[in-house]
Amino acid sequence: MAPQRRGAPKAPEGNRAADRRRPSSTKSVRAPRDVWKKWLRVAVLGACTTFVALLLWGSLRGDDSITEVLAHRSEVLPGRFIEVPCSEDYDSHRRFEGCSPRKCGRGVSDAIITRDEARRIRSIAEKGLSLGGSDGGASILDLHSGALSVGKHFVNLYRYFGDKIQSIFSEEDFQLYRDLRQKVQLAIAQAFGISASLLHLTKPTFFSRINSTAARTAHDEYWHAHVDKVTYGSFDYTSLLYLSDYLDDFGGGRFVFMEEGANKTVEPRAGRVSFFTSGSENLHRVEKVHWGTRYAITIAFTCDPDHGIADPTFT
């Protein structure tokens, strides 16, 4: 009997089931990987979001650390004074008995200069700065040295413009400048209990005009915290006479005394004088101006007659 021909052996049923399961088994391996990748993307995104949030919080916290406004723009202050311990900055400089700071602090007054006087002296700044102005947001005019911001540089106002100065300024302008300087000097002497005759005007003493234009040079970066006695060794007493109003003429631009966790701000007001001893006890900065134009005069005094300068004269 011829042997019967048999077909190819059938695969066991169990093996077929295994074959059918192989694709789903591959998917089950791939699925955790996909989940892992998605989780990783979410984690990275979350970390980035957290980092940005922390930066923003830190920035806001820096603003929140301004816990006290020393002088509001709406106030009319006959005088406000805060005494603070003197720093050691003065120890590395020659001391002058009866003048070098022994009593340190900061004061604000709206009773030294009138708003009308502030308006009139602001016109001096406007006339002088109309001859130039920085490419960046901060311009200066120094009637003593003649320094004037022009583009990215400074020129000597008196040499550069020569006889044209006679048609820009007047003797009355310079007399007003001298009168207001003397009023500020007397107020500082009274606040710190020293003789006004022992104070000498020192450089740099200048008008400043600040707006929101982006900085072009390091000279435009006015907002960094600094100590006047460190920056200018001759300074013993610093003052600022504001010539425009916070929130009416400009936004930002407040003056900030830096103190850990308790910064103090002065909101500029035309005619307001802010004055202080120039050492590290009065670390300070100016906020960036966000809009408008801020005008002020920095007037500084030294106890060292060798660093004194004369009032500007109209010639």
303: Cβ contacts below 8 Å, ≥ 6 apart: 95, 96, 99, 100, 198, 199, 200, 236
Q: With contact defined as beta carbons under 8 Å apart, do 76 and 110 qualify?
A: yes
Of the listed 106, 181, 269, 294, which one is catalytic? 294
| Cα of 224 vs its chain's centroid, Å | 5
Question: Is 294 a catalytic site residue?
Answer: yes
| CA end-to-end distance (rounded Å), the chain | 143
Dist CA 197 CA 47 (whole Å): 62
Q: With contact defined as beta carbons under 8 Å apart, do 157 and 141 qualify?
A: yes
> Alpha helices of the chain — where are they, by DSSP H?
13-64, 115-129, 157-161, 165-168, 171-192, 228-231
Report the candidate in 274, 268, 273, 265 with the shortest Cα–Cα distance to residue 248: 268
> Alpha helices of 65-170 — where are they, by DSSP H?
115-129, 157-161, 165-168
Question: Catalytic amino acids?
Answer: 294
